[in-house]
Amino acid sequence: MNTTLQKSDAHDKTQVVQDTNKAAETTLRSYQFGGYEVEMEVSDTVFQPTLTSRLLAQAVKIPEGARVLDLGCGAGVLAIIAALKGAGHVHAVDVMEEARPLVEANARRNGVADRIVASSGDLFQSVGAQRYDVIVSDVSGVVDEVSRLSPWYPDSIPTGGHDGADQIVRVLDSVRQYLKPKGVLYFPTGTISNVPRTLEAARRAFGDQVELMEQVEVPFCAEFKENMDVMTRLRTEGLIDFTPKRSRHVWTLQVYRAWV
């Protein structure tokens, strides 16, 4: 699949359904991802669901009763969708401490709290010896400089490093030991990060058992348009890539599946 994604597709399905809840400093939003409608409490300090979350929600297949790890879970949208898709147990992990209470609140709100456990830690640190049927890795994966320009990464959220691939390469280098036999990993990459380095690490870990599931062209957001000088310099340095399309510029977002 290769389509151009209109700005409205990414945003229209996300609407504020209630004003700020001042006690918890969260806002309630609804998302329609992967055929499910979920209501999420989100905050300004924890990563909020984006187009990448939507693409992953669409791609991920959950065998009935599966054990699932949502790595880089943010407010927990993919953990909740995995549970709604039939997972028996979901472990949601984020390096940011603030993510855990949000995941727990969102799991309760969507009626799946009995199947979601949230923890904090760097990558697999809080996972121990557990193994999973499905791992969804959505750790930060955008070039540092682009992350900070974008509306998606408040300063408090760790980014993907100089070329955007640091976190996902760390995941790919160690993920196999956390997958059960026949286990499957889903991960995104995109041309606002180092795609070749990410795919090299994926092939090192999984050989030929790596497959492109989804691909969309994403028009530049306002912040990228306003900073064309920075975007062009980063492209000249070989850190990112984008192409003109009619009167706009687009970058490419992909979701891959890799299996044991």
Ligand X SMILES: C[S@@+](CC[C@H](N)C(=O)[O-])C[C@H]1O[C@@H](n2cnc3c(N)ncnc32)[C@H](O)[C@@H]1O
Residues that bind ligand X (CB under 6 A): 47, 49, 53, 72-74, 77-78, 93-96, 99, 122-123, 138-140, 157-158, 167
Q: Are the C-beta atoms of residues 32 and 51 closer than 8 Å to each other? A: no
Triad 10, 15, 19: Cα angle to 5°: 145
- The strand pair at 132-137 and 67-71 is best described as parallel
The CB-of-159 to ligand X minimum distance in angstroms stands at: 8
Of 43 and 53, nearer to ligand X (C-beta) is: 53
| C-alpha dihedral sign at 73, 92, 40, 77 | positive
Q: Are the C-beta atoms of residues 45 and 94 closer than 8 Å to each other? A: no
Q: Are the C-beta atoms of residues 74 and 110 closer than 8 Å to each other? A: no
The CB-of-236 to ligand X minimum distance in angstroms stands at: 26
Of 34 and 49, nearer to ligand X (C-beta) is: 49
Triad 97, 149, 167: Cα angle to 5°: 45
The CB-of-180 to ligand X minimum distance in angstroms stands at: 21
Triad 106, 45, 42: Cα angle to 5°: 30
User: Residue 58 to residues 53, 199, 230: CA-CA distances in angstroms?
Assistant: 9, 21, 32
Of 96 and 248, nearer to ligand X (C-beta) is: 96
Of 121 and 245, nearer to ligand X (C-beta) is: 121
The CB-of-181 to ligand X minimum distance in angstroms stands at: 25
Of 45 and 209, nearer to ligand X (C-beta) is: 45
The CB-of-250 to ligand X minimum distance in angstroms stands at: 19
What's the residue count for the chain? 260
The CB-of-246 to ligand X minimum distance in angstroms stands at: 28
Of 90 and 99, nearer to ligand X (C-beta) is: 99
Phi and psi at residue 7, to the nearest 5°: -55, -40
Q: Are the C-beta atoms of residues 190 and 156 closer than 8 Å to each other? A: no
